[in-house]
Amino acid sequence: MRGKLITLEGIDGSGKSTICRLLQDEKRFAGCIFTREPTTSWLGDAVNRALRSDTDHIAELMLFLADHADHISRLVRPSLERGSNVISDRYSASRCAYQGSTLTGLFEDPLDWVRTLHKGWTVDPDLIVLFDTDPSVAVKRCGDRGEQSKFEKIEFLKAVRNNYLRLAAEDRERFVVINADRPLNEVKEEVFRIIAHALEGRE
């Protein structure tokens, strides 16, 4: 039986990566393959270089897409076909939400354009857990961690959040939206329950 693909999404500072680490430490999910985008391959390194510099927005999107294609063929598809469940910290929805914002003004509907670029070759997740958070809380969390990437500005994150909420509204079957402004433990319990339920009978 094919494995399930679950992806975790949200703006910078949403607490998603913290919960992802806790998921990896949890016995119930020990059989899952944990991964992330940008990946840790040389393509992921190229993406991170682009993020640290003033790279053209289309070039940046293409690097993210190249990393995604390699991620799918090298890890995601083979794992699912072997019957393993895969949990990815960020995936296609990050591109739609973030590059859907960086490309504003270049296309009439940048989110939809980015979404279309994935069609026909990507592997769609079975479940997308969206950590929804107030951008002002998220920016504060990023600041407290001493992080300040070019994407961690409040106006930009507001646009990214709106894109995420639009994606969720347009794909209610796959998306689950979590209120991530609550205490970490509450968010963790809810996410663990949702993922355990999605994997029921598979772990």
Using CB under 6 A, list all residues that contact ligand TYD. Answer: 12, 17, 37-38, 51, 64, 90, 94-95, 98-99, 149, 151
* Residue (2 or 36) nearer to ligand TYD, CB: 36
Which residues pair with residue 104 across a beta bridge?
107
* Residue (14 or 85) nearer to ligand TYD, CB: 14
Contact (Cβ atoms closer than 8 angstroms) between residue 33 and residue 81: no
- 180 Cα distance to chain centroid: 14
Least Å distance between CB 64 and ligand TYD? 4
Least Å distance between CB 176 and ligand TYD? 18
Tell me whether residue 197 is exposed, middle or buried, using C-beta atoms within 10 angstroms of its C-beta: 0 to 12, 13 to 18, 19 or more.
exposed
> Which residue from 122, 121, 104 is spatially nearest to 113, judged by alpha carbons?
104
Least Å distance between CB 108 and ligand TYD? 20
* Residue (58 or 196) nearer to ligand TYD, CB: 58
Closest CB to ligand TYD: residue number: 98
Least Å distance between CB 143 and ligand TYD? 13
* Residue (29 or 98) nearer to ligand TYD, CB: 98
Q: Is 86 helix (H, G, I), strand (E, B) or coil?
A: strand
**What interhelical angle do 135-144 and 154-170 show, nearest 10?**
130
